[in-house]
Amino acid sequence: AAIKCIRTYGLESYLEVDGEPRPVLAEVAMMLRLGTSCSSIIKLHDWMENDVGFILIMEVPDQSMTLYRYLKNCGSIDGGTASRFRHQLLDAAKHLFSCGIFHSDLHLENVLVSESSLDLK
C-alpha cells in the first residue's frame, strides 16, 4: 500500500459524499465515489483527516513503476504495447468521465505500469 499525505490550507475544494457526515476533500470524495468500479484506477483502501490535512492509504500494484520510468528504461516499445497502453488510458479516462470526474493532471508520472502484466493504473 502507498500512503499519501495531503496538507490542507483551507483553500481546497470539499465535496459531499453519501455516507459521510460532512464534506470531504475533493480528491478523497472522488476516490470514494469511484470505489472499485474500474480495474485501471488506483483503489483507496482507507483515509483519515487530522489537524493538518488528510492521509490516504492507496493500492500499489505489485512490481510497478511510473510509465515515465518504464518508457525511459525500455528506450522504445513496439506498436502493440503502445496500442495496449493507449487503450487502457482511454478506458480509464472514459470511466472517470462517466462518473463525472475529469483528471486534470494526467501525465506519465501519474500512471503506473505493472512490469509483469503491462497493466496500467
Q: What is the pLDDT of residue 39?
A: 85
Distance from C-alpha of 2 to C-alpha of 64, rounded to nearest angstrom? 12
Can you give the pLDDT at residue 80? Answer: 95
Binned average pLDDT, 10 residues per bin, the chain of 121 residues: 92 89 92 84 94 94 93 94 95 89 88 94 92
* pTM exceeds cut of 0.85: no
pLDDT at 104: 82
For the chain, the straight-line distance linking the first and the last C-alpha, in angstroms and rounded, comes to: 14
Contact present, 57 and 44 (Cβ < 8 Å): yes
Q: How far out from the chain centre does Cα 38 lie?
A: 11
Contacts of 118 (CB under 8 A, 6+ apart): 81, 84, 85
Active-site residue, 105 included: yes
Choice among 18, 91, 105, 119 that is catalytic:
105
Interatomic CA distance for residues 24 and 13, integer angstroms: 8
